[in-house]
Amino acid sequence: MNAANMANAYKRQQILTATPAELTLMLYNGAIRFVTESMLAIEKKEIKKAHDANMRAQKIVRELMLATDMKQEISQKWILIDEYILHCLVQGNIKKDKLKLEEAKKFLLDFRDAWVQAMKQVCMDQGKNNAASKAVERKIEA
């Protein structure tokens, strides 16, 4: 098995064994990564690569929107921000506008960081040790 296949197998195993909260964190990290890739491709005038990365980020944001529990009061406001993020991504893709992509990325980073804090709080509330909290921190980098 070559290195790429091993990495894919490892990633697949991570996804299959992740909790719903960890999957959400993975989605935020993926969206951030793809927005960053799109911005870098715009700088290099690699239009197709910029478009493809942007579309992957849009797909993730749409998935996050679909997963939002609209029964929760905060979800009504959260979804409006998700819609704005999606708007920024679409406009950034159409116009190849790095500023719009940077704005979307900032919101995604803020949401991701808030999600991490919520995950840590849940770990503490459930009496899980500090190792669980540190595991959450490591997943930010994944």
Domains and CATH numbers, the chain: 21-109 (1.20.120.340)
Q: Confidence band (pLDDT; 50, 70, 90) for 104?
A: very high
pTM: 0.84
Tell me the C-alpha distance between 130 and 102, whole Å. Answer: 33
Q: Confidence band (pLDDT; 50, 70, 90) for 53?
A: very high
Residue written as tokens 């790095």? 98
What is the residue type of 128? K
Residue written as tokens 């942007």? 54
Q: For residue 135, what pLDDT is reported?
A: 60
The enclosing H or E element of 50 equals helix 47-67
Q: Does 78 have pLDDT greater than 60? A: yes
Tell me the C-alpha distance between 63 and 27, whole Å. Answer: 9
Tell me the C-alpha distance between 55 and 49, whole Å. Answer: 10
